[in-house]
Chains A and B, each alone.
Chain A
């Protein structure tokens, strides 16, 4: 059972953080943004395709978990999970930049 004093101390820390954050937001001076050169995005080259590093690592993680599931005899859920977990990767070609988008003018 959690002691009442512990909860009280945590709530005091929470309120102190809230006040300090509000103070930081309200007293902060706005700094004009300097135009930086376009940030470099790391890409990995696989079979003549250059893929962004982060989606590629996600893809690897999904497949590692899928194979752990398959080798643990957790086959049905692993297959369903794999299909669902690949939705983020499938979103890349679905929302292709070259196609028409719902952008506002």
Chain B
């Protein structure tokens, strides 16, 4: 099995999934150009790369836990006997960039002093805004078969989507916002910040062992 898989039966038809994929891709391109223009290459890389890695790891772990699957996408990343669509990984970087900025806008209106408390507020707001967006996106995605949740597993559901999914969104968006801003506001050189941001997502692999032992 190769790392990248291409779905040969994928057809560009005017279905809701195609609109969803195009929307994510176009927004990602806009944010990438915006970030390059405002922040430059290094900071853009720091904003987009770690969350893509974390997103892929989180999706793979959740899918390996037989939570859900993604039917009908074009390009997949395959690992640990599950496949994650590339656009979903890209979507995580869109989510982080979106909610980091909105969270920062709102939190800095409430708490102006630049310290750790402000970072904490920004992260909490980013996580909460991520969940509020997901309350629209995930039920629609399940209904439209963009991704399918395994309903046979006993757990708490909100609009036919497991509660743990929303907690995951809060954790990933909030946690990555905090990590990104902590590195951002540190007084290391730009090159060191870049290196730290590249290595930190892979620390998640430590939890892979305990995760699979527990499930």
B163 at the interface (CB under 8 A from A): no
A47 at the interface (CB under 8 A from B): no
**Do the beta carbons of B140 and A81 come within 8 Å of each other?**
yes
In the assembled complex, the Cα of A11 lies from the Cα of B111 at a distance in Å of: 39
B157 at the interface (CB under 8 A from A): no
Binding site for A on B (CB under 8 A): 16, 19-20, 23, 27, 30-31, 34, 37-39, 64, 80-81, 97-99, 101-102, 105-106, 109-113, 125, 129, 132-133, 135-137, 139-140, 143-144, 159, 187-189, 192, 195-196, 199-209, 212
Known contacts A11-B209, A20-B199, A53-B34; A84 and B132 CB within 8 A of each other: yes
Question: Which chain B residues border A87 with CB–CB below 8 Å?
Answer: 129, 132
**Do the beta carbons of A14 and B206 come within 8 Å of each other?**
yes
Which interface class (under 10, 10 to 19, 20 to 34, 35 or more) fits A?
35 or more
Binding site for B on A (CB under 8 A): 1-2, 6-8, 10-11, 13-18, 20-21, 24-25, 28-33, 39-42, 52-55, 57-58, 61-62, 64-66, 68-69, 71-72, 74, 77-78, 80-82, 84-85, 87-88, 91-92, 95-97, 101-104
**Do the beta carbons of B205 and A10 come within 8 Å of each other?**
yes
Of the candidates A14, A33, A40, A64, the one whose C-beta lies within 8 Å of that of B208 is A14
**Do the beta carbons of B113 and A28 come within 8 Å of each other?**
no
In the assembled complex, the Cα of A72 lies from the Cα of B196 at a distance in Å of: 44
**Do the beta carbons of A68 and B102 come within 8 Å of each other?**
no
Of the candidates B64, B189, B209, the one whose C-beta lies within 8 Å of that of A28 is B189
Known contacts A18-B206, A42-B37; A24 and B102 CB within 8 A of each other: no
In the assembled complex, the Cα of A77 lies from the Cα of B141 at a distance in Å of: 11
Of the candidates B30, B81, B102, B200, the one whose C-beta lies within 8 Å of that of A88 is B102
Top 7 closest pairs, chain A to chain B, by CB:
A14-B205, A81-B136, A14-B206, A17-B202, A85-B136, A95-B109, A103-B112
Known contacts A24-B199, A40-B38, A91-B106; A17 and B205 CB within 8 A of each other: yes
Tell me the interface secondary structure of chain A in the complex.
helix
Q: List 13 A-B contacts (CB under 8 A).
A: A11-B206, A14-B206, A14-B208, A24-B199, A54-B98, A57-B31, A58-B133, A65-B137, A74-B144, A81-B159, A85-B137, A91-B102, A97-B109
Known contacts A11-B205, A31-B189, A55-B105; A69 and B113 CB within 8 A of each other: no
Tell me the interface secondary structure of chain B in the complex.
helix
